[in-house]
Amino acid sequence: LRHLLTTEGLPRDVLLHILDTAQGFVSFGDREVKKVPLLRGKSVFNLFFENSTRTRTTFEIAAQRLSADVFNLDIQRSSTSKGESLLDTIANLEAMDADIFVVRHAQSGAPYLIAQHVPPHVHVVNAGDGRHAHPTQGLLDMTTIRHYKPDFSALTVAIVGDIVHSRVARSAIHALTTLGVPEVRAVGPKTLVPGDMRPMGVRVCHDIREGLQGADVVMMLRLQNERMSGGLLPSASEFHMMYGLTPERLALAKPDAIVMHPGPINRGVEIDSSVADGAQSVILPQVRFGIAVRMAVLSIIANANA
């Protein structure tokens, strides 16, 4: 694996190799993962052209735990504001001996463009491009699910909310179907869920009750207002009334169902505080698993040329 740009088409054995590698980096309870020298001498450049709390920080922690040198380009203060092109920025950072670029960009495809132009020893990880893909989020979601529900072949997963604008949903769906999850549901209003998702192996439910019934995993998504352009979209209060995850609605899922959310959460819109902070929520463990998964991805791609 030279670059990680998407979970779509990622072979099952590669996907499982990443999850297994991440397992070795998980720090939980009294288990502490010490710093390891796998990326010593390598330079990781975080290029976040869109805002981030979880992804940028956990990539930085992951790279530091692998002993890499980490550089966070401050995009607001960079020469991007003077009109420097994306590829010229990359070429200049390459001249500073960059080995890995971690890229988030509002334009779908931006990490692909970079990957096409970097020399063979340089690697690119997509940290979220437009509405297209967020592969490390998909992989940390799979790590989280496997931790709590080890048998993918027996699961019903309900993904609820703004699916049409969600790179998180797309990356999760590709990974879930590759791992053999038999029932993946996309739950939301017609304006926020693509009409026919059968080619992706997904059942569409516009009725929240039908969507949550008997689910093992409930993955909530926020309204991606920054990617919406008017139309018949629900307001926050309408969305909460129709699709918000309340304790009463969660009771339709299996009693031991887990509740996931990639963050940031909007309390009282797609999820009630009592659910987000409740016993079935694994939202903060997802964040923690993100470090292990990003350590796995960085170490695997960095050794691709070894």
Least spacing, CB of residue 167 vs ligand CP, in Å: 9
- Three-class secondary structure of residue 216 per DSSP: coil
Cα gap 65→186, rounded to integer Å? 36
Least spacing, CB of residue 278 vs ligand CP, in Å: 20
Least spacing, CB of residue 131 vs ligand CP, in Å: 13
Residue 27 and residue 292 in contact, taking contact as beta carbons nearer than 8 Å: yes
* Residue choice 12, 20, 41, 53 for contact with ligand CP (CB under 6 A): 53
Q: Which is nearer to ligand CP, 101 or 205 (CB)?
A: 101
Which range in 48-56, 110-118, 225-233, 268-276 contacts ligand CP by CB under 6 A?
48-56
Of 281, 160, 181, residue with least CA distance to 223: 160
* Residue choice 27, 43, 52, 67 for contact with ligand CP (CB under 6 A): 52
Among positions 221-280, residues that touch ligand CP (CB under 6 A) are 262-264
* Residue choice 137, 143, 178, 281 for contact with ligand CP (CB under 6 A): 137
Q: Give the strand pairing for 123-129 and 100-105.
A: parallel
DSSP 170-213: HHHHHHHHHTT-SEEEEES-TTTS-S--GGGTEEEESSHHHHHT
What single letter denotes the amino acid at residue 108? S
Site string for ligand CP, 70-109 (x = CB under 6 A): ----------------------------------------
DSSP 22-77: HHHH---TT--PPP--TTTT-EEEEEESS--SHHHHHHHHHHHHTT-EEEEE-GGG
Least spacing, CB of residue 306 vs ligand CP, in Å: 29
Of 262, 215, 272, residue with least CA distance to 241: 272
Which range in 53-61, 84-92, 156-164, 179-187 contacts ligand CP by CB under 6 A?
53-61
Q: Which is nearer to ligand CP, 58 or 178 (CB)?
A: 58
Under the criterion CB under 6 A, does residue 161 sit at the interface with ligand CP?
no
Binding site for ligand CP (CB under 6 A): 52-55, 128, 137, 262-264
